[in-house]
Structure 1
Amino acid sequence: MDQIDRERLKEVLEFIRSHAPRPVLSSLEAELAVIEQYIVNARAPRIALVGRRGSGKSSLVNAIFGAPLAETGAVLSTTAAGTWYQYEGPNGSLEVLDTRGLGEGERPAGATEEDAVAENLKAVRDRCPDAILFLVKAVDVDAWIQNDLEQVAALRGAISRRHGFEPPVIGVLTQVDQLAPADVAEPPYDDPEKRANIRLALEKLAERMERLLDRPVRVFATSAYMRYRDGVRVVDRRWGIDELVSYLVETLPGEAQLTMGRVAGVKAAQTKIAGALIQSTASAAAAVAATPIPLADMPILTGMQVLMVTGIAYLAGRRLSREAALEFIGALGVNVGAGFALRELARGLSKWLLPGGGSLVSAGVAYWGTYGLGQAAVAYYIENQPIEAARKLLEQSRDRIVKKP
């Protein structure tokens, strides 16, 4: 995110905090913290990929981005040490700890430690992963992976001691296209035998992980195979990646969720993040509007709504800036002045409910007006619906306000 954009968004948030009525500020702070975490503090997710050589770590990175960003090794181990990489895609970046592969047949060139675990532990001293993905080839789930899981537990323990945070460990079954029957290589793998083998492999991986890690775990079956020719993707057999990404979005810290949803472009995950942001913003708006201080609520409400629309636009691949919100508001046909973008919208909502267009926006008007605006932004940015559909959602919120007793 551009530092200028971040500073501008911080200014909006600080304005809200400094001008919110004192009676409501304490109850408002929890919702503002959510908004701040999602938007102002947005950063790249940090993911540690752990697995044996050939388990498909680089392929998984490529599958998440949908682009050949990470180098893959066909025969020899290509990761000499636990190393952090920042992969830049069209819509953002991921920080990936590409660990030295477990169970290597020979020590990679450039490795400084004989033991892969020692190399990997060094990599987490100064940077804390948000999550650990333990990758196992589907055809190897019956192999001896006890030592691999012990090394995962050691890595998690080192992170906990160093950073005071115990990252979740997620099991990823890779290369499910190689499970029998081999001739069923194209997703969605509707063949009953193939489905049964995938299910059995998942059950075995979950059982082994839970036994060693002493807690329930989530496991996902995936295929990340893609092939490119002259920079053009000619084969795409990705399967299960969206489900994995959606769970990652739920599991990551709030400040990393927005970028994860944006990078992967999974609409279900983006909609879930947007829903949480809309709920917090609408609740905050209602709390402010319920305080009977004429005219004091208007700029605060509009500031929160600008932040909400900005976050949703960013999720969908737009620049994280107030300009993105202004673009959307202009497309809605709302009159945008030089000050807060949504002042006219808030005034319009008050006219729907209050005779004569009173200046104080009620809690119900503020909540449903903000909620409707958020739903309109989701429709326009994430679902790629025309602006007319977004306007209709806003009108539905207006109708809900009018029908309230």
Structure 2
Amino acid sequence: MTSMLENKNKPFNEINKKIILEKIKNEISKIRNYTPKVAIFGDTGVGKSSLCNALFGKNIAEISDVEACTRAPQEILLSGEGNGITLLDVPGVGEDPQRHAEYRELYKSLLPGLDLVIWAIKADDRKYATSIEIYQEILKPNLEKCPVIFVITQADKIEPHRKWDVQKNEPGEEQVVNLTKKINDISSRFNVSTNKIVAVSANDSWNLVELVNKVVDILPNEKKYSFTREAKEETVSEEAAKNAEIGIFEEIKKKAGETWDYIKYEATDIIVDKVKEYTPKIAHTFIRWLSSFW
């Protein structure tokens, strides 16, 4: 929809304005209640359950890291603040070489219905040649519709694994060096920006805020909010929450098209009212951003 004005030949009057503003309200409601579908790629033992539990605060026992025996992806709907989020546990390409062709077709069939892929790679995993092939062939051509974030899991176990700074709950100096090397290695071998790679330790709740920040950065404007809505509150920074609301504003402005100049003040009031209702903690920050926008 390039414009919310159905008939451009009609004079722009109060009746037309009311119709457009009602459409804007409906569009905002649709965005705020959207149920995103997120696929978690990764081999058995990579820590998919722990990662999802840490991100969304649910006990996701259904995502199994025990056996690499499932051919069908497991779909789990988590009910949260809005219409929830759907997580799809996808078997890793390295789990069973005999099923490589089968998994390739599975990924192709799943991709059109996905909003985001979280690709989990263990901190000590060095064998991902097959994953690179799948990424380049299937996922990379579709990044605009379905972005991919690479997550290095179990960062606390990277060598030297006994050097984790327990008091500060962060990697020790030597571990930081090795994690940086790991990020650069994935960046080079997959040919992706380091901005789309993040190391975390789910068990220690380390760097999850940075993960959410990066996810919000790469998601399309109309889908940013649905992710921050479902993530645990402590993993959503003020910046991520603000950027999610800015995403809604930018999407509404884009869909209003040429009618925006006629309804921008009323539409902005509607948007601000919803920010105050849904994310009151960052309302002031968002309004301040709006002031600079005008």
Q: Same fold (TM over 0.5)?
A: yes
Q: Is the 8 A contact 1:62 1:68 kept in 2?
A: yes
**1:122-161 matched pairs, under 5 angstroms:** 122=106, 124-125=108-109, 127-140=112-125, 143-156=126-139, 160=142
Give the Cα–Cα distance (whole angstroms) in 1 for the partners of residues 62 and 134 of structure 2.
Answer: 24
Give the Cα–Cα distance (whole angstroms) in 2 for the partners of residues 221 and 178 of structure 1.
Answer: 11
Give the Cα–Cα distance (whole angstroms) in 1 for the partners of residues 205 and 136 of structure 2.
Answer: 29
Q: How many residues align?
A: 267
Matching residue within 182, 193, 198 for 1:201: 182
Q: Secondary structure at the match of 1:115?
A: helix
The letter of the residue matching 2:39 is: A
CA distance 1:33–1:223, shift in 2 (3 Å): farther
Give the Cα–Cα distance (whole angstroms) in 2 for the partners of residues 280 and 254 of structure 1.
Answer: 6
**Corresponding residue for residue 274 of structure 1:** 245
**Corresponding residue for residue 149 of structure 2:** 170
Q: Secondary structure at the match of 1:134?
A: strand
Give percent identity, aligned residues only: 22
**1:114-125 matched pairs, under 5 angstroms:** 115-116=99-100, 118-119=102-103, 121-122=105-106, 124-125=108-109
Q: Secondary structure at the match of 2:84?
A: strand
Q: CA RMSD in A?
A: 4.2
The Cα shift of 1:178 comes to: 0.4
Unpaired runs of 5+ in structure 1?
Answer: 1-12, 107-113, 226-236, 289-296, 317-380, 385-389, 401-405
TM-score of the aligned structures, taking structure 2 as reference length: 0.72
The letter of the residue matching 2:240 is: A
Matching residue within 297, 305, 313 for 2:277: 313
**Corresponding residue for residue 261 of structure 2:** 287
CA distance 1:286–1:100, shift in 2 (3 Å): closer
Matching residue within 158, 161, 172 for 1:191: 172
**Corresponding residue for residue 382 of structure 1:** 281
**Corresponding residue for residue 182 of structure 1:** 161
* Cα offsets for 1:222-250 (capped at 9, x unmatched): 1112xxxxxxxxxxx11122111122122
**Corresponding residue for residue 52 of structure 1:** 43
CA distance 1:313–1:20, shift in 2 (3 Å): farther
The Cα shift of 1:221 comes to: 0.5
The Cα shift of 1:91 comes to: 5.2
Matching residue within 90, 107, 110 for 1:99: 90
The Cα shift of 1:200 comes to: 1.5
The Cα shift of 1:78 comes to: 6.2
Give the Cα–Cα distance (whole angstroms) in 2 for the partners of residues 97 and 74 of structure 1.
Answer: 14
CA distance 1:123–1:182, shift in 2 (3 Å): closer
Unpaired runs of 5+ in structure 2?
Answer: none
**1:339-358 matched pairs, under 5 angstroms:** none
The letter of the residue matching 2:201 is: S
Q: Is the 8 A contact 1:63 1:238 kept in 2?
A: yes
**Corresponding residue for residue 252 of structure 1:** 219
Q: Is the 8 A contact 1:53 1:102 kept in 2?
A: no
**1:15-34 matched pairs, under 5 angstroms:** 21=12
The Cα shift of 1:177 comes to: 0.6
The Cα shift of 1:175 comes to: 0.5
The Cα shift of 1:119 comes to: 3.8
Q: Is the 8 A contact 1:34 1:277 kept in 2?
A: no
Q: Is the 8 A contact 2:122 2:154 kept in 1?
A: yes
Matching residue within 40, 44, 53 for 2:30: 40
Q: Secondary structure at the match of 2:239?
A: helix
Q: Is the 8 A contact 1:49 1:135 kept in 2?
A: yes
TM-score of the aligned structures, taking structure 1 as reference length: 0.54
**Corresponding residue for residue 220 of structure 1:** 198
